[in-house]
Structure formats: structure tokens, C-alpha cells
Amino acid sequence: MDIQEIKQRFGIIGSSPELLRVIGIAVQVAPTDLSVLITGESGTGKESFPQIIHQFSARKHGKYIAVNCGAIPEGTIDSELFGHEKGSFTGALADRKGYFEEADGGTIFLDEIGELPLSTQVRLLRVLEAGEFMKVGSSKVLKTNVRVVAATNVLITEAIEKGKFREDLYYRLNTVPIRVLPLRDRKEDIHLLFRKFASDFADKYRMPAIRLEPDAVSVLLNYQWPGNVRQLKNITEQISIIEKERLIDAKKLLNYIPVQNENKLPALYRGIDEKTFSSEREILYQILFDMKKDMNDLKKLVHDILQNEATQAEVRDDNAQLIRKLYQNESGNYVPDQTPPNRTTITPAANPNIYDTEEFVEESLSLEDKEVEMIRKALEKHKGKRKYAALELGISERTLYRKIKEYNIE
């Protein structure tokens, strides 16, 4: 069967060299049992190639099962793929065969393989390497002879770097890589696809087929088509239904084409910080983790407040002790030095007509000056030993050290 017959049989439209090459690879690898990984942007028609591989293989009489891994919740995907035993989990009312058991002797197509949970990836790797699997809730090893074809529109290499996809599984699946090019990279197929879709919708809705003016064809070819063939088909259907005129110019066509988006597909693998969940259990876990984080933040805040209050209380107590000492000094209960502060004594001279006099200098009433004076005198009395000076002043050694630095006392 030549390429043209294969295209007609599987509904593939296009004549670009890249498309013909990909079809040739699929036909060539079909007779083998090698695993195939099909990559490409969403909407490029990747689902046609697993069917080609199956129909041109020795397994064409076996079952062909297509599974969308992204559409199955994480909590049930193991059961869907590998089956389960009765009573293995809530709702397991009977034994159930999984897709790998059902497809024994045939082909299984795993679409959106990048969405598989890591635990399921381990199970899949064992199937690929040994052809063995176990049902959920069972310890019995079962055998299966299945050809696996996988497809993805995410960048698997980035998913591997982020720890979301197993590197060994990637190399096991990627034995034969097939890359389907986006529609913007095979421009010669765009107008051909438009005419085919317009004809199909004309037959479906029983109306004349729409046609494009030359300026509209130019717009069609220069648009990037981020949604690829699927987007082109949808726009063709919209125009076929809504427009009364069957000849479409560029102005009318632009009404149906969205604003150009710079984000190119394939889609990047979703980051861990994005709020997307595949099951209710993940949502519950996320809520619990957020609550735990909030509790830890609250505990830290309360601890910091209490510690700050304790420090301030200690400072207030030390200041109060120092002030009491200052007042004791003024009342005569504590006099570190018998010479009154800031007071100069003039001794009598030899002249008997000169009497003893004292010159009084007004004292500073600043608490800061008093503190400095008391600290200096206590240090002098105890020959610079801070421990004993602090005991003398009735404050802690740490507070004394802080005040020495604060007042720059030598």
C-alpha cells in the first residue's frame, strides 16, 4: 500500500514532505514490537499514527485500545490500566480487568503520557521491561503481551528536570521517536485542509461550500495556528454556518481568527507551584499543608513577640535598678567616691586673711549623665571587672556591657 492509499484510509490530509516522512516511519516501524513515542503540539493529529502502526503490524487482529491518561483521575488510573481485586478499595465491588490485560496480544495507545503520576510510571516501566504487572490490591504477577505506543504534547525533558517524569521510562518509550510537525511548519497543507473541511461541512449541513479570496488565503497561510489542525477545522465550521456569503475575503476571515498569541506549543510541563489538581485527595493534602504552614508562621510570630517583651522587661528592670542606685547615691546610702561630683574644693592659702571657701558648680540632672557617672565609678572601684561592677550596680552583666557600648565608656 502506497502513501496515498494510507492517507485516504486513515483520513490524513496533506502533501508536505515532513508529513509524508512521518507516515513512512510509522509504516516502517509497524512490523516490529518496538515502543514508539509520538511528540507534537496539541491538535496536530497525533492519534492517527498509532492506528497506522497497529494496522500494519502483526497485531492488527488483536485489540487496539486508546487511553487518554490526562482524563483519568490519579486515584483511579492504576485501576484503569492494570485492573483491581474485589475489596481492594472503597467501591471495588468486583474484580476488574485493566486495559493492559484486555489488550493482551494487541496495541495500547497511551495519549498524554506526560500526565501519568510517578507511581504509575513505575508500574508502566515494569510492563515495558518484563511484560509483568499486578492488579491493585493483588500480589499475583500477571503477564501481558502488549505493544505500547505513547504520545505527548508536553516537553518531557523539562518534566524530567523537574522530577515529574522518570528518565528511564522516557528512554524506554522513546525507542522510536516520531515527531509530528505543527501546522505552521507545513504551510502547503493549510489551504488544502481548509478546502477539505469546507467540503465536509457543506455535505453535513447541506449548503454550498465556502471559498476564500486570494487575500483571505494569504491571511490563512500567515497565521501561526497555535491550535493546529483542530483549530483550523473549528474555524472552518464556524464560517460555514454563520456566513451567508460563500466567498470569504480577508476582512471576514479575520473576524474568526483570534489575536496572535506569542505562546507557542507544545505546552510546557505544569510547574509544582501551579494550582492544578488531579484528585480530591491532592486538594485535601494541599489544604492541610497550607494550614500547617500558617500554624508554624503564627507560632514563630507569637514566640518573637514574647521574646521581645521579655527583653524589654529586662531592660526596664535594669534601668529601674540603676535609677534606684542613683537616688541612693544622692541620699548618702551609696557613695562610691567621697568627692562630690562636679564640685571643686579650694584649699586655704598661707595668707591668714583668706578664709576657706567652696565653689559649687550646678550639677547635671540628666539620667543619662548619672548613668555614665555611676558606671564609671563602679568600674573604677572594681578595677574594670564588669562582673563585680554589674553586681554593685544591681544590673545584669549583659546590660552593663550594652550600656558601656551605648555610652562609649572607656
Tell which residue, 130, 75, 143, has the closest CA to residue 284: 75
Query: Each residue of 328-385: pLDDT tens digit?
Result: 655 555 444 444 444 444 444 444 454 444 444 455 556 777 788 888 888 888 888 8
Give the model's pLDDT for residue 280: 59
Same domain, 285 and 394: yes
**Structural domain includes residue 273:** no
**Structural domain includes residue 266:** no
Band of pLDDT at residue 27, cut at 50, 70 and 90: very high
Q: In angstroms, rounded to a whole number, what is the distance separating the alpha carbons of residues 41 and 179?
A: 9
Same domain, 215 and 142: no
Query: Each residue of 138-190: pLDDT tens digit?
Result: 999 999 999 999 999 999 999 999 999 999 999 999 999 999 999 999 999 99
Give the model's pLDDT for residue 140: 94
User: Of the ranges 91-100, 297-306, 330-339, which is most confident?
Assistant: 91-100
Q: Is the pLDDT of residue 268 over 50?
A: no
When divided into structural domains, the chain yields a total of 3
Average pLDDT value for residue range 308-335: 64
Q: In angstroms, rounded to a whole number, what is the distance separating the alpha carbons of residues 239 and 255?
A: 10
Query: Each residue of 213-236: pLDDT tens digit?
Result: 999 999 999 999 999 999 999 999
pTM reported for the whole predicted model: 0.62
Assign residue 225 the CATH number of its domain.
1.10.8.60
Same domain, 75 and 135: yes
Structural domain for 7, as ranges: 3-181
355: its cell numbers: 578664709
Q: In angstroms, rounded to a whole number, what is the distance separating the alpha carbons of residues 48 and 55?
A: 11
Q: What is the mean pLDDT of the chain?
A: 84
